[in-house]
Structure 1
Amino acid sequence: MDAFYFQITIPEFQYPIIWDNPIPGVYMSSVFFTHTFPTVSKMVGGEKESICLRVVEVVIPGYRVRGETALLECQYDLERDVLYSVKWYKDNEEFYRFMPRFSPPQQSYRMDGVKVDNHLSDDKRVTLKGVTLKSSGLYRCEVSAEAPSFSSVSGEGRMEVVYLPRDGPHISEQGKLYQVGDVLSLNCTSGRSYPASILHWYVNDEKITSSKELVEYAPVMHKHGLLTASLGLKLSLAPGHFPGGALRARCVARVSPVLWTADQESLVERVAPLIDNREALLLDNQWVMILLYIVANGLKPKYLSTGYHSSLGYCPIVAQNTRLPQYAGLHPG
């Protein structure tokens, strides 16, 4: 007959217990505390054979969208034990239990943010319907066995409920005209969500990361705990910002993890600089001189016309069929 001994493992503590009076004929190993509840196994011929309750897997969805259904799973193996109860806790408060000795075996308790669907729940799964932001928290499954072992094991996981924005980000201060040397000033505001949206600016498809060009704002809290995020952009414009004569500024909003993404783009056109005041005055003086020359010399042109000159960029006065002196920048006829 093979010699065997029992090993009890209770995690999270790492010190041994020395047995003062070992059972005759049975060799006891050291006991290491590595869990809050014991798992007992039997060593036969150098191999470990489990003889009582153990949790195989606890599955808690990391994220759910508000209004959705959440399925919590607790997979366990009784081995030679008999099930006494399965209990579920949220933030250390019990909200559901399954006890096979009772009829019906399921029983749920009222808790803010937790609505159990008993028809879709049993000893290994619990269905939560219509989750809300208050459903977020730490969920724990605890499985207990009947006598004689009275063993109990548990597993846990955290679930966060998110509220996605109903519309995309909005860019303000649009429609302005800019020149090289101006400071582009735009603001991007997300829709209401939980958690707050994460915003990023892109200029001509290049992400803006410099803190000198970004203006951070604190999230604004709304009813029911929803948040609005805002991010400003201040960029000194250079010729390279206008490929093809226009700048493309885009704001991207994300709810992390990437459960939702939306963006809005703003097209900023470049305008030519205005004529210098001194240049405008010079042009006015030239037009006056032309008119005085015509009157002083008794010239009678058929008509005078004004029009936009594409090569000059302004509107000179043109005297038809009249010989005029060649003033700088003006070419009669």
Structure 2
Amino acid sequence: MTWIHIFLLSAIQGWCAALEITHFNVPRFVDRKEDAVLECAFGLQAREQLQSVKWYHIDHLGGMREFYSFQPGRNPPAKTYKLPGVFVAMRHSNIRRVLLRRVSLNTTGTYRCEVTAKSNPGFDSKNLQANMVVLELPKSDPVISGGLRQYHMGERLELNCTSPRSYPPTSLKWFINDQEHESEEEFPLRHGSKNGLYRSRIGLNITVHMNLFKYGKIRIECVGEIEDGIIQGMSQGSSHQIETIRLPEALKRERSEVFVVPLVSSSPNSQKSKIFCLVITLMISLRPSWTILLNL
């Protein structure tokens, strides 16, 4: 075997056994206030010595900041850096995993793991990254407010429907007897200044008439569904792009509340007329008694 073959064989063996990230995991979706585990396992060749493992958070504008590092030659080897929304549980974090406590909407972003090893000669470095989105899904149904216990023909029926706070925002729709009805009024989204959550509200204003009744009642339903398509920045190398993240169907489960209007056959005026007629009838029927009393 010539020296050229020996050189090529050594190079191939070195390349095959070089630093490699063997397992990498960043949860795609995490519920707000839950914990999140970031994983980054790697393998080294015999001649390589681990220099550091570093974790970075990349925001939607492309800004990248280090928040955790592990260097075997440092005392202590693990170190964390303050970053809004990123709180590392040091006791539960190590060279291959990082635990983030009680994530918030500010935790959303791209997470990059960078592993650097010292080789002969120079250094070898590998990195992988993935997006994580923090959600606040509705934990209760939308609430219908307003409305009366019963209505008469020709009266106005006015309702409001309000969603619980969520992120992304909840999209609300009206259904009358299982048929979608366009909302007469959509209120501006209310955005929480502290937690960043949204609250949606829509209004309904219709006139009660016989054609609306089905099987003796009007069934009005307000349906809420999490809006799809989260806009998030994504950095790759020297470039930064905006992408739309689609939610799995399982996370977009609909919630609803129902308001039922029973059938009332008469209008207020006709009801008053019936009462008036009943009073006149009673007065006429009692008239002979009045005559007798007057004669006495």
Q: Normalising by the residue count of structure 2, what TM-score does the alignment of the two structures yield?
A: 0.68
How far did residue 175 of structure 1 move?
A: 1.9
Once the two structures are aligned, what percentage of the paired residues are identical?
31
* Contact residue 138 and residue 165 of structure 2 kept, 8 A: yes
Q: Deviations over 1:153-181 (max 9, x none)?
A: 11112222233556532112222644667
Are residue 107 (structure 1) and residue 69 (structure 2) matched?
Answer: no
Partner of 2:170: 197
Aligned length: 251
Residue number among 249, 253, 258 corresponding to 1:265 in the alignment: 258
Partner of 1:71: 37
Provide the secondary structure at the position in 2 that maps to 1:223. coil
Q: Deviations over 1:180-224 (max 9, x none)?
A: 6766543211122333223233333x252x6x4564332112331
Q: Distance in 1 between matches of 2:125 and 2:75?
A: 22
Residues 233 and 3 from structure 1, CA distance in 2 versus in 1: closer, same or farther, beyond 3 angstroms? farther
Partner of 1:188: 161
Partner of 1:34: none
Q: Distance in 2 between matches of 1:261 and 1:94?
A: 38
Task: Name the one with the larger strand percent.
Answer: 2
Provide the secondary structure at the position in 2 that maps to 1:243. coil
* Contact residue 88 and residue 97 of structure 1 kept, 8 A: yes
* Contact residue 213 and residue 235 of structure 1 kept, 8 A: no
Partner of 1:116: 88
Q: Note the aligned Cα RMSD (angstroms).
A: 4.0
Provide the secondary structure at the position in 1 that maps to 2:85. coil
Residues 123 and 199 from structure 1, CA distance in 2 versus in 1: closer, same or farther, beyond 3 angstroms? same
Q: Distance in 2 between matches of 1:3 and 1:263?
A: 76
* Contact residue 251 and residue 265 of structure 1 kept, 8 A: yes
Are residue 141 (structure 1) and residue 113 (structure 2) matched?
Answer: yes
Partner of 1:18: none
Provide the secondary structure at the position in 1 that maps to 2:223. strand
Residue number among 92, 97, 100 corresponding to 1:128 in the alignment: 100
Q: Distance in 2 between matches of 1:173 and 1:150?
A: 69
How far did residue 72 of structure 1 move?
A: 0.6
* Contact residue 174 and residue 221 of structure 2 kept, 8 A: yes
Are residue 172 (structure 1) and residue 145 (structure 2) matched?
Answer: yes
Are residue 218 (structure 1) and residue 188 (structure 2) matched?
Answer: yes
Provide the secondary structure at the position in 2 that maps to 1:61. coil
Q: Distance in 2 between matches of 1:197 and 1:237?
A: 28
Partner of 1:252: 223
Provide the secondary structure at the position in 1 that maps to 2:39. strand
Partner of 2:52: 85
Q: Which structure 1 segments of 5+ residues have no match? A: 6-23, 28-40, 302-333
Q: Deviations over 1:7-29 (max 9, x none)?
A: xxxxxxxxxxxxxxxxx9869xx
Q: Which structure 2 residues correspond to residues 31-70 of structure 1 after superposition, within 5 A? A: 42=12, 50-70=16-36
Partner of 1:231: 202
Q: Distance in 1 between matches of 2:139 and 2:105?
A: 16
Task: Between the two structures, name the one with larger relative contact order (CA 8 Å, sep ≥ 6).
Answer: 2
* Contact residue 84 and residue 145 of structure 1 kept, 8 A: yes
* Contact residue 219 and residue 230 of structure 1 kept, 8 A: yes
Q: Distance in 2 between matches of 1:168 and 1:243?
A: 25
Q: Which structure 2 segments of 5+ residues have no match? A: 59-63, 228-246, 290-296
Partner of 1:320: none
Partner of 1:325: none
Q: Normalising by the residue count of structure 1, what TM-score does the alignment of the two structures yield?
A: 0.62
Which stretch of structure 1 is more off in the superposition, 255-264 or 131-140?
Answer: 255-264
